[in-house]
Amino acid sequence: MTAANFRLRAGKPDYAILLTALALVVVGLIFVYSASFAIALAEYGNVNYFIFRQAGSAVMGLVGMFVLMRFDYRRLRMLSPLLMLVAVLSLAAVLVVGNDAYGARRWISLGGLPPFQPSEFAKLALIVYISAWLASHGRDVQSFALGLAPFILLVGLVAALILMEPDTGTAAIVVMTTVALFFLAGGSLTHVFTLGGIGAVAGALLVASGGYRADRVFAFTSAEQDPSGVGFHTLQLLIALGSGGIEGLGLGVSRQKFFYVPGAHTDGVFAIIGEETGFVGAMVVIGLFAYLVFRGFRVALRARDEFGSYLAMGIVCWIAFQALVNVGGITRTIPLTGIPLPFVSYGGSSLIMILAGVGILLNVSRYTKENAPLPSGKAVRPPQRRRLRSSAQTT
């Protein structure tokens, strides 16, 4: 790609996406503090332990977002193989030198820095790589040998490494996001159904193998049969949501956060939102996600090239699927997975990488079809506007 090809007039970013993302971050900071101060005091003797770390992650994520918003996204196409290599190596490294916590090995500590979760970086790196791969293959995506087979090998490798941690929820998000992107890029319906069948069989085998996956399915279907054991988490989440009613108990007044809801500040934070702000507050949060997804797909449709369009679609699908899976688990629509609510749940790696993804999305929104350059590198005006202007001159 030559320097001339990078000469492109940048427009303004989609401020609606920016403001919506910032609103969700603020909501997250408020409810991470509300849901975590009790456990922070009990475990660390400091009610601000979690909120200080979340605020620090928010600052780093926002800096990354604004940097990526000004970084021409087309350069990511050349960097995509390197990003994918780093993602795979970091996922392999966490299995060897990662930190054990809560029965899983998902984090790497570097010196005195907070632990980092490679699977969160792998989500964004895979979206960038798959977008570049789809943009370069064109109609070959519909081929088995050139489209489906390489796609299965790459996504399967990343998903397998994440499953070995183990982290079934994150692996599911990775697969769902990339399959949706594969379909939106023109993948054959037969191939998409094949991918769905492979995923269904793999999921059934994982549940049949027993362990925590089988427990989560049991908690989804039969929580009432073991209310103080396997079903405890599911039932306490529902009690929190039900206690909020329409308007909620009031900000900071949640009772379930006092050691009833496990992970109240992480993957269970939406239940605390529902308890303190009620159905109204919960729907506002869902509405913010829905609006962000709507604006994101609008950016994808207006992107000036296929790579930008796929990038935008991939990032939007990632946010949408993760939000749906989190809220679905808390409302007992689907089994619990333990994945965080984007922007809102406590977790530095998740927040930083989500904001980085939004930065790329905002960058794509700055380079639309209306900004496409002439061969000389000058920007053209939208054809419709030019016709309207010429017709006005003749009247």
pLDDT in tens, 183-208: 888 877 888 888 888 888 887 777 77
Tell me, what's the pLDDT at 197? 85
Distance CA 287, CA 134 (A): 31
Burial of 205 by CB count in 10 Å (0-12 exposed, 13-18 middle, 19+ buried)?
Answer: exposed
Angle at 37 between CA 282 and CA 238, to 5 degrees: 35
Burial (CB count within 10 angstroms: exposed 0-12, middle 13-18, buried 19+), residue 324: middle
pLDDT category at 63 given cuts 50, 70, 90 is very high
- Report pLDDT for 103: 66
Distance CA 309, CA 149 (A): 23
Burial class (CB in 10 A: 0-12, 13-18, 19+), 202: middle
- Structure tokens given for 110: 């570097």
Does 144 have pLDDT greater than 60?
yes
Per residue in 215-254, pLDDT (tens digit) is 888 888 888 888 888 888 899 999 999 999 999 999 988 9
pLDDT at 116: 86
Q: How confident is the model at residue 57 (pLDDT cuts 50, 70, 90)?
A: very high
Reference 40, options 258, 343, 237, 273; nearest CA is: 258
Global pTM value: 0.88
Residue with the bigger pLDDT between 222 and 353: it is: 353
Burial class (CB in 10 A: 0-12, 13-18, 19+), 359: buried
SS3 379: strand
Task: Please give the backbone phi and psi of residue 107, each rounded to the nearest 5 degrees, phi first.
Answer: -125, 150
The pLDDT of residue 33 is above 90: yes
| Helix, strand, coil % over all residues of the chain, rounded to 5 | 70, 5, 25
User: For residue 380, is pLDDT > 60?
Assistant: no
d(CA 150, CA 191): 12
Q: How far is CA 38 from the centre of its chain?
A: 28
In this prediction, residues 175-186 reach a mean pLDDT of 90
Q: Which of 129, 28, 98, 128 is nearest to 347 (CA)?
A: 28
